Amino acid sequence: MDRTFQARVTVGQYLALALCTFMAGYGLWYKEWAVALLFMLLLVFVIEQLIHSAYTIRAEGELVICRGRFRKVRHIPLQDISLAERAKAPLFGALFVSHYVLVHYTNGKTLALLPTNEEEFLKTLAKRGCKIM
């Protein structure tokens, strides 16, 4: 059975959304059409990524990472995943700490994933035979 996890929205993505909205409004207000058009297109990309980002663990034994319709879908076989672990990265000193799931797979490659329910995501990976730390 396939299991899908939605991606968590980060503070940086909210800030990008706010900035693009402000700049598009600015361009329209002051009749800077090129600025308005550029930031409206960028706003479409940001919203698309926010809405359609998801991680699917398929019954066939692969992790499917979808980050919106405008980006390439990534397929990683579960047997290629050597380790999955929770990680934290401090941003702006001690004011803001971001947590994520770090996935190590073939040839030393890593991916930082932001599922909404990290514990359930790691439990599902463990059930499918991935090493969890």
For residue 89, being part of any structural domain is answered with: yes
Query: What gap in Å lies between CA 88 and CA 91, rounded to an integer?
Result: 10
In a domain, 132, yes or no: no
Give the pLDDT of residue 92.
66
Walking along the chain (133 residues) 10 residues at a time, the average pLDDT comes out as 92 90 97 96 94 95 94 95 90 68 93 93 93 88
| Kind and range of the H or E run holding 12 | helix 11-29
Residue 61's nearest CA partner among 81, 47, 45, 44 is: 81
The helix/strand/coil state of 46 is helix
Q: How much is the pLDDT for 98?
A: 80
Is residue 46 in a domain?
Answer: yes
Q: Give yes or no for a contact between 55 and 115, defined as CB atoms under 8 angstroms apart.
A: yes
For residue 91, what is the domain's CATH number?
2.30.29.30
Tell me, yes or no, whether 41 lies in a domain: yes
User: Which tokens go with 65?
Assistant: 């990472």
CA–CA gap between residue 50 and residue 44 (Å, rounded): 10
Q: What is the pTM of this model?
A: 0.86
Is 121 inside any structural domain?
Answer: yes
Per the DSSP assignment, residues forming a β-bridge with 91 are 96
Q: pLDDT tens across 6-36, in order?
A: 999 888 889 999 999 999 999 999 999 999 9
Whether 133 is in a domain gets the answer: no
Is 115 part of any domain?
Answer: yes
Q: How many domains does the chain have?
A: 1
Q: Which domain holds residue 49?
A: 3-127
pLDDT score for 103? 95
